[in-house]
């Protein structure tokens, strides 16, 4: 088994174990709280397992714009694309693309070692742009489950032809709703991230990925800074 895949699975297992232990220790005294923690752990496990797999998803954003996520396990890489930019993370580089003045420009930087999990880098970068990522939703759900005053209601739905489990969370004056498909893909989110409104809805999911998903946007100018830092 490739080292990257082994590291990926080990990290995923440790994250799920950490969430499970934390949830049970904090909420095990009450049956309803324990059930809430179990729900959070199940959704977290689904999304974490999905980060080990190959898939692509398209999303509808508020205002009619679109975004997409693509990732493959072998070779290990991830790409998030939204109207004004793109982030591509591979074992060779981290490429950040942004649109300014109607033109797209990309900067290629050395790879960031994340125990074989490029989604960690994508999550850190995407937060700056208010993008919704599976790790962001996991953190929100975990925080709600650890809050004894939080209210979490569960429901089920179908998104882009796929069954999804949904939760509607109210805590400390804030409210958000999230759905996760059976495959572990984020189905929808409505709420706020870092104080910014965010809304996404899954419009297409596939377990095959076109290699072009990891290309820089057509016509973009590219500056490669890897040699300058080597």
The pLDDT value given to residue 166: 93
- Positions of the chain with pLDDT under 50: 1-30
The pLDDT value given to residue 47: 84
The pLDDT value given to residue 150: 81
As a three-state string, the secondary structure of the chain is: CCHHHHHHHHHHHHHHHHHHHHHHHHHCCCHHHHHHHHHHHHHHHHHHHHCCCCEEEEEEEHHHCEEEEEEECCCCEEEEEECCEEEEECCCCEEEEEEECCEEEEEEECCCCCCCCHHHHHHHHHHHHCCCCHHHHHHHHHHHHCCCCCEEEEEEEEECCEEEEEEEEEECCEEEEEEEECCCCEEEEEEEECCEEEEEEEEEEECCCCHHHHCCCCCCEEEECHHHHC
Q: pTM for this one? A: 0.78
The token pair that represents 46 in the structure block: 């689904």
Each domain of the chain, given as residue ranges in start order, spans 3-229
User: Looking at the domain 3-229, which fold is it?
Assistant: outer membrane lipoprotein receptor (LolB), chain A (2.50.20)
The pLDDT value given to residue 32: 58
Q: How many CB atoms neighbour CB 222 within 10 A?
A: 13
The pLDDT value given to residue 4: 39
The pLDDT value given to residue 144: 77
Closest by CA position to 133, among listed 185, 195, 210: 185
């Amino acid at each position: 088994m490739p080292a990257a895949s082994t590291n990926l699975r080990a990290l995923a297992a440790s994250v799920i174990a950490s969430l499970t232990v934390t949830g049970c220790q904090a909420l095990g005294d009450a049956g309803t709280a324990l059930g809430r923690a179990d729900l959070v752990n199940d959704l977290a496990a689904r999304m974490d397992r999905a980060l080990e797999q190959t898939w692509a998803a398209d999303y509808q954003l508020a205002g009619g714009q679109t975004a997409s996520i693509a990732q493959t396990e072998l070779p290990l890489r991830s790409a998030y694309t939204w109207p004004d930019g793109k982030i591509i993370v591979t074992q060779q580089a981290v490429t950040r693309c942004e649109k300014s003045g109607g033109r797209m420009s990309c900067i290629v930087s050395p790879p960031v070692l994340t125990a074989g999990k490029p989604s960690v880098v994508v999550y850190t970068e995407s937060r700056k742009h208010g993008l919704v990522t599976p790790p962001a939703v996991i953190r929100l759900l975990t925080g709600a489950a650890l809050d004894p005053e939080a209210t979490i209601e569960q429901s089920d739905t179908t998104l882009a032809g796929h069954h999804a489990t949904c939760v509607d969370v109210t805590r400390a004056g804030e409210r958000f709703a999230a759905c996760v498909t059976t495959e572990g893909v984020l189905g929808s989110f409505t709420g706020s991230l870092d104080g910014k409104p965010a809304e996404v809805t899954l419009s297409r999911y596939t377990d095959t990925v076109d290699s072009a998903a990891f290309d820089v946007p057509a016509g973009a100018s590219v500056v490669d800074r890897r040699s300058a830092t080597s």
